[in-house]
Chains A and B, each alone.
Chain A
């Protein structure tokens, strides 16, 4: 039984990112892997040691502040689970929150959880559009596509990027990196949402979650015709099509 932890679904339910939960759950179910979803709201208890996959999305400023306050209270527990190999996906605002701080245009510094070594600063121009990245997952190089829309520009410290930008902006539109990766924590700016179309990533996350529970993590293949077609539309548009 895999347990998916959806953080703050009542706060962060407007960005299509719940598609990530849907994709993770469906691809387990289609393979007969038992899976359940635990929705965790502000102040509700959760044992990060007992869950297999945590999803953290982004919200508007108000929501972001509320969830930052709540997560700060759970920081030590979350950090221990991450060191223990907890599989986690953080998108956009959720990604930024895991870093050291966010600096606004006015120069104000909003502290992050400080779990990962990067910082974000607000840019003058919003980075919006289709994006394609190349990432290495378990020794395999895969292409991922999505839609990015962020004002924050993220700069990595002593941490590896999630992928390399093929087209689009990525972390900051300058250094060609996209997202961040530490152990089994994956951070990215890709909305779309990221998991339904990019099946290689979804399956990789499922595999890592199973492996952490001592199972072999080898998944039987599924028919991904629609998903591949949806990716191909964006790759062609970005002139990356074959």
Chain B
């Protein structure tokens, strides 16, 4: 057994080296190879984690939340294993452990923090026996548009019902997530305070119109975004649970966001070096996890203040003194949030949107019509929209029908030319939005032209 474990680990490591030589980032190849040689490799490696496995799942915010948790645990003095962005299927998770193991298949760590694809959750949970599971939100992804979301959630429900000892950290504001509390013994909820709930913007991409338990329609008294808000079932008693960790309205100041977070009748001030309601949710998920694991609140808050975004999660750069933002877009809810961000940044700006329809992006891009680009129609201070990627022309059509004047829209197929065109626009800021497979090339090309801003220093302002 030990021999098979060593062989599988070694083969995985060789594969990792080869993948790196071929220039493939975030590859799951080491996991594929190791699992092929020894299907039990993941369970064997996981069993050596000293304190426990933490899984972060949900549609949006997995990467950010799991990175925040890993960083928080590290700053509290623990050794942590983390899987890489996007490598969130069983192979990617296995790859993370193979990378962390030594040549004898030994692992020395306190926690493993794993972001896991919703659909892979049952399988990964079965093999890793998690102690704590964080669920961020459930939205329909572009790949998942024909009722499969319901199936995915029902599999997660079943997995939890079979393992009621798992501790859950759940988003109270998402009814699709909050329902999961019924299947385990211990749940902590996080959410945004009701009074900061605003008018339903992005109302077109709402997922949960019906109660997950009785099928009656849900009534909302306020929305944060998409179906996230303050809800109550008109048929049974299901309603938004009272959060254990709740954030009051966040104030945006420059490139940072400040919020007051209530936990056990204490109020802690949290400063995030990033923007957007969805990032506040991610930070709340991480903070709540920290509290469940007994981390000191001040340490947890400080670590969130030093968070650096992973690629594409609202990265900040500078180009000749001009702020430049890069953000991943992959579904209507996330895209609407990115658009809100364009408005949070007052002043003029140029906007770049790259849409690809490769396997990893989803071949069907009709979800672009579920994004509320109509909010851009009357906006004067966004000066130009440069559309690129394989489906740049389609994006231009969408903007035109949203009411953006055609003279502001250009289609530039070549990514490099499109990027230069945007950076050299007349606006005071530049916003780059890209789907998954467009993100890496855009980031690479941007990096040659810009400098990363000191967002961490900004947190102290």
A60 touches B369 (CB 8 A): no
Q: Which listed residue, B147, B367, B409, touches A62 by the CB 8 Å rule?
A: B147
Find chain A residues with CB under 8 A from B368 CB.
16
Q: B396: CB under 8 A from chain A?
A: yes
Q: B140: CB under 8 A from chain A?
A: yes
Interface 1/0 per residue, B127-151 and A, CB below 8 Å: 0000000000000100001110010
A61 touches B363 (CB 8 A): no
Which single residue of chain B is at the shortest CB-CB distance from A60?
B147
Q: Which listed residue, B140, B401, B411, touches A14 by the CB 8 Å rule?
A: B140
Q: From residue A50, how far is it (CB to closest CB) to chain B in Å?
A: 26
| Interface-lining segment among B63-71, B102-110, B386-394, B421-429 | B386-394
Which B residues, 199 to 222, have Cβ-Cβ distances below 8 Å to chain A?
A: 204-207, 209
Given contacts A193-B366, A227-B397, A230-B396, contact A14 B205 (CB under 8 A): yes
A233 touches B393 (CB 8 A): yes
B401 touches A128 (CB 8 A): no
Q: Which listed residue, B204, B209, B363, touches A18 by the CB 8 Å rule?
A: B204
Q: B262: CB under 8 A from chain A?
A: no
Which single residue of chain A is at the shortest CB-CB distance from B395?
A230
Q: B44: CB under 8 A from chain A?
A: no
Q: From residue A8, how far is it (CB to closest CB) to chain B in Å?
A: 12
Q: From residue B79, how far is it (CB to closest CB) to chain A in Å?
A: 43
Which B residues, 340 to 373, have Cβ-Cβ distances below 8 Å to chain A?
A: 363-370
In the complex the two chains form, what is the Cα distance from A51 to B223 in whole Å?
A: 33
Which single residue of chain A is at the shortest CB-CB distance from B391?
A233
Find chain B residues with CB under 8 A from A16 CB.
366-370
B366 touches A230 (CB 8 A): no
A19 touches B401 (CB 8 A): yes
A-B contact count (CB 8 A): 82
Which single residue of chain B is at the shortest CB-CB distance from A224?
B397
Q: B398: CB under 8 A from chain A?
A: yes
A19 touches B369 (CB 8 A): yes
A17 touches B393 (CB 8 A): no
A13 touches B146 (CB 8 A): no
B394 touches A230 (CB 8 A): yes
B394 touches A147 (CB 8 A): no
B397 touches A197 (CB 8 A): yes
Q: A191: CB under 8 A from chain B?
A: yes
In the complex the two chains form, what is the Cα distance from A196 to B400 in whole Å?
A: 10
Q: From residue B37, how far is it (CB to closest CB) to chain A in Å?
A: 33
Q: B406: CB under 8 A from chain A?
A: yes
Q: Which listed residue, B205, B366, B401, B406, touches A22 by the CB 8 Å rule?
A: B401
Given contacts A14-B205, A128-B363, A149-B364, contact A226 B369 (CB under 8 A): no
B366 touches A19 (CB 8 A): yes
In the complex the two chains form, what is the Cα distance from A13 to B398 in whole Å?
A: 16
In the complex the two chains form, what is the Cα distance from A15 to B209 in whole Å?
A: 16
A196 touches B406 (CB 8 A): no
In the complex the two chains form, what is the Cα distance from A16 to B207 in whole Å?
A: 14
Interface 1/0 per residue, A49-91 and B, CB below 8 Å: 0000000000011100000000000000000000000000000
Find chain A residues with CB under 8 A from B401 CB.
19, 22-23, 26, 196
Given contacts A19-B366, A26-B401, contact A61 B147 (CB under 8 A): yes
A196 touches B390 (CB 8 A): no
Find chain A residues with CB under 8 A from B146 CB.
60, 149
In the complex the two chains form, what is the Cα distance from A22 to B403 in whole Å?
A: 10
Q: A112: CB under 8 A from chain B?
A: no
Q: A229: CB under 8 A from chain B?
A: yes
Interface 1/0 per residue, A9-42 and B, CB below 8 Å: 0100111111100110010000000000000000
Q: A129: CB under 8 A from chain B?
A: yes
Q: A223: CB under 8 A from chain B?
A: yes
Q: Which listed residue, A17, A227, A229, A232, touches B369 by the CB 8 Å rule?
A: A17
Given contacts A18-B370, A233-B390, contact A196 B145 (CB under 8 A): no
Q: A163: CB under 8 A from chain B?
A: no
Which single residue of chain B is at the shortest CB-CB distance from A66?
B210
Interface 1/0 per residue, B280-300 and A, CB below 8 Å: 000000000000000000000
In the complex the two chains form, what is the Cα distance from A60 to B367 in whole Å?
A: 15
B393 touches A226 (CB 8 A): yes
Q: From residue B153, how far is it (CB to closest CB) to chain A in Å?
A: 13
Given contacts A13-B204, A15-B145, contact A230 B397 (CB under 8 A): yes
Find chain B residues with CB under 8 A from A13 CB.
204-206, 370
Interface 1/0 per residue, A195-230 and B, CB below 8 Å: 011000000000000000000000000010011011
Q: A192: CB under 8 A from chain B?
A: yes
A14 touches B145 (CB 8 A): yes
A196 touches B397 (CB 8 A): yes
In the complex the two chains form, what is the Cα distance from A172 to B365 in whole Å?
A: 23
Which single residue of chain A is at the shortest CB-CB distance from B332?
A14
B140 touches A226 (CB 8 A): no
Q: Which listed residue, B150, B204, B364, touches A60 by the CB 8 Å rule?
A: B150
In the complex the two chains form, what is the Cα distance from A60 to B149 in whole Å?
A: 10
B147 touches A197 (CB 8 A): no
Q: From residue A114, how far is it (CB to closest CB) to chain B in Å?
A: 25
Interface 1/0 per residue, A105-133 and B, CB below 8 Å: 00000000000000000000000111000
Q: From residue A153, how far is it (CB to closest CB) to chain B in Å?
A: 16
Find chain A residues with CB under 8 A from B394 CB.
197, 230, 233
A15 touches B366 (CB 8 A): yes
Q: List 18 A-B contacts (CB under 8 A).
A: A14-B140, A14-B205, A14-B370, A16-B370, A18-B204, A19-B401, A22-B369, A22-B401, A60-B147, A149-B364, A192-B366, A197-B394, A226-B393, A226-B400, A226-B406, A230-B391, A230-B397, A233-B391
The chain A residues found within 8 Å of chain B, CB to CB, are: 10, 13-19, 22-23, 26, 60-62, 128-130, 147, 149, 191-193, 196-197, 223, 226-227, 229-230, 232-233
